[in-house]
Amino acid sequence: MTNHPRVKLGRINGDNKYSVTLDMTLSYKEVLNERLNRLQAFTSNNSLESATRLINEAGVQCTSSDVDKVLFGSKGMIPSTQASLAGNNTNRPKNYSGRLTRRDGSPFFFSEDGRQYVRGVIVDGHYPLKTPNHLFTAIRNCLEENLNLPRYIRHEIVSGDETVDRDENNNPR
């Protein structure tokens, strides 16, 4: 059996609505490399002060020190991406479920405890960013959106989610 190269994931009911198409053929490492390249290009083309000014103009009021921590701090975007590429990132979310195994012939992955997931890079649609409960999350979200950083998501399938398998041309299977 073949594994599906794309899947459309959506939730049309409730408060947290979304609809995205995920490309499941790109590796997480490829996405991390592209994110790192875009972040490094941004930081090499902008001083900390000009980057802060751009973020402020985008609607997030912050200082250069805040931007420095988000980009270069111990849990910053660049060091975390580099650590993930090296295989030693310890900044994982608390709900991280560990290794996933793909069921052959389906778009689904399963955790060791049996939970079902889809994962891949968003190539179309809208998937919500983290709710900014902290200034650093707001800065991070601003950078994600305005630098058009590729987003690789790992989404647990729950009640209310729907998936549609897609072929490489994004047509339903």
The pLDDT value given to residue 68: 97
pLDDT in tens, 34-66: 999 999 999 999 999 999 999 999 999 999 999
pLDDT in tens, 130-164: 889 999 999 999 999 999 999 999 888 888 777 77
Q: In sequence order, what DSSP letters do the residues of 9-57 get, joined into one string?
A: EEE-SSSS-EEEEEESSS-HHHHHHHHHHHHHHHHHHS-HHHHHHHHHH
Min mean pLDDT across 22-26, 52-56, 76-80 is at 22-26
Report which of 157, 120, 127, 151 is spatially closest to residue 5, judged by C-alpha positions.
120
E strands present in 48-138: 101-102, 109-110, 116-126
